[in-house]
Amino acid sequence: MPPVLAFIELTRKCDLLCMHCRASAGMDSNAPELALSRVAEFLGALKSESNRNIHVIYTGGNIALRSDIVDFMKLSRSLGMTFSLSPSPSSLVNTDFLKAAKDNGASSMSVSIDGVESTHDRIRGVSGSFHHAIRILDQAKAMRLPVQVNTLVAGETVSELPKIYGKLVEMQVPVWELFFLINTGRGDSMQDLRPQEMEDVIHWLVHLSRNIRIRTVEAPFYNRVLVSPCETIRYGNLYKYLHGMSQTPANPEDHHPPTGLHRGKTIFLASDGNVFPSGFLPVSLGSVDGKGLPPALKEYMRNDFSFPRESIGPECSLCPFFDLCGGSRARALAYTGSHLSSDPGCIMCSEFPVIKQSLHNGRAVEYEH
């Protein structure tokens, strides 16, 4: 059974100022920080309530700003849980941080790259961040600390995806996780892709997934394309651009099967102790208050799906791929005001007249260089 992925937001302080930050993090953040005892209580209760493996992901803000970050690593281990680290690509992720991650058994560490050189630095709001991302990858590789690269997919980054892919191949990064923009927090003013453009990116990623392990965040229709590319295939100009710019096509003699399904159920413990299905979906599942897991979270954990099928909009709930996908509840909320609407980013939904009207009016994406 897929694991429960428990994201723990240790802080909202961050030495970067990313354009897309859902948490609007920065060094001037006044948000509270989670104490070790509170996280221990939460994870302990989660373990006793769930029959699934729990994988913890420490995220922020920049978790490298927490002087007690090693205590959180040790906590996961003491509870028998695997853990990953998601620090911000900055000078704070130094040799000591990486060594502590390695010595305490981190399963992996994510490093964000949103473009090449100046594009990345512009998106991340601090010059030199790209340099640190590459340095961190190099140092982690030398220490044999497993890594993955995370990349934002938005109008501002999409034209550089082939260059990032080329860099990952060159650096032998095994996992590429692509986060499709949700217009929330500071990301509210960024450019989202149109459904056809998302479809093009997804088809391209499925193609690449024979060379590199692909995961998507907030684009669950990747699973639809993965299992049934022929039924839904319809390439647009963006696919042709991405495919034409990729210098390393799949080698049928040396590939693994396409990857991406069964990532697991996510839970997000925010820095103020509130629990949500994800950091992009502020639908309350209660808060951690010393009395065990809140009832809404227990109910959420019991169900196979995050939300009952019959409560979801018709385009998604009637879709033959619902069990594999279900649509992004976060994008539904950002576009329609209801997390139970169908996913307006999916090309299958976009062809339903009921929501076609509200889609991406007037947003243009520049990728034909």
**Contact pick of 50, 76, 88, 159 for ligand SF4 (by CB under 6 A):** 88
**Closer to ligand SF4 by Cβ: residue 258 or 294:** 258
Taking the C-alpha atoms of residue 271 and residue 281, their distance in angstroms, rounded to an integer, is 15
**Contact pick of 4, 6, 10, 23 for ligand SF4 (by CB under 6 A):** 23
- Using CB under 6 A as the binding rule, whether residue 221 contacts ligand SF4 is answered as yes
- Using CB under 6 A as the binding rule, whether residue 325 contacts ligand SF4 is answered as yes
Q: How far is CA 297 from the centre of its chain?
A: 21
Kindly write down the DSSP assignment for every residue of 237-293, as one continuous string: HHHHHHHHH-S----TTS-PPP------EEEEE-TTSBEESBTTB-----B--SSSS
- Using CB under 6 A as the binding rule, whether residue 21 contacts ligand SF4 is answered as yes
Nearest to 20 by CA among 164, 153, 185, 177: 185
Nearest to 303 by CA among 321, 285, 315: 285
- Using CB under 6 A as the binding rule, whether residue 162 contacts ligand SF4 is answered as no
Least separation in angstroms between CB 102 and ligand SF4: 22
- Using CB under 6 A as the binding rule, whether residue 16 contacts ligand SF4 is answered as yes
Q: Which residue is it, tokens 């859902």?
A: 22
CB 190 within 8 A of CB 155: yes
Binding mask 34-63 for ligand SF4 (x = CB under 6 A): --------------------------xxx-
- Using CB under 6 A as the binding rule, whether residue 343 contacts ligand SF4 is answered as yes
Enumerate residues 6+ apart whose C-beta is below 8 A from 297: 267, 275, 285, 286
Rounded to the nearest 10 degrees, how much is the dihedral formed by the CA atoms of 289, 295, 301, 302?
150
- Using CB under 6 A as the binding rule, whether residue 327 contacts ligand SF4 is answered as yes
- Using CB under 6 A as the binding rule, whether residue 206 contacts ligand SF4 is answered as no
Least separation in angstroms between CB 246 and ligand SF4: 25
Nearest to 1 by CA among 55, 79, 53: 53
- Using CB under 6 A as the binding rule, whether residue 294 contacts ligand SF4 is answered as no
Q: Which residue is it, tokens 């060094």?
A: 27
**Closer to ligand SF4 by Cβ: residue 7 or 241:** 7
Taking the C-alpha atoms of residue 107 and residue 102, their distance in angstroms, rounded to an integer, is 9
Q: Before 273, cis peptide (omega within 30)? A: no
- Using CB under 6 A as the binding rule, whether residue 14 contacts ligand SF4 is answered as yes
Contact stretch for ligand SF4 (CB under 6 A) within 46-54, 143-151, 155-163, 316-324:
316-324
- Using CB under 6 A as the binding rule, whether residue 342 contacts ligand SF4 is answered as yes
Contact stretch for ligand SF4 (CB under 6 A) within 73-81, 281-289, 318-326, 358-366:
318-326
**Closer to ligand SF4 by Cβ: residue 45 or 319:** 319
**Closer to ligand SF4 by Cβ: residue 183 or 246:** 183
| H-run or E-run covering 333 | helix 329-336
Contacts with ligand SF4, residue ranges (CB under 6 A): 14, 16-18, 21, 23, 25, 60-62, 88, 221, 224, 315-316, 319, 321-322, 325-327, 342-343, 346, 348-349
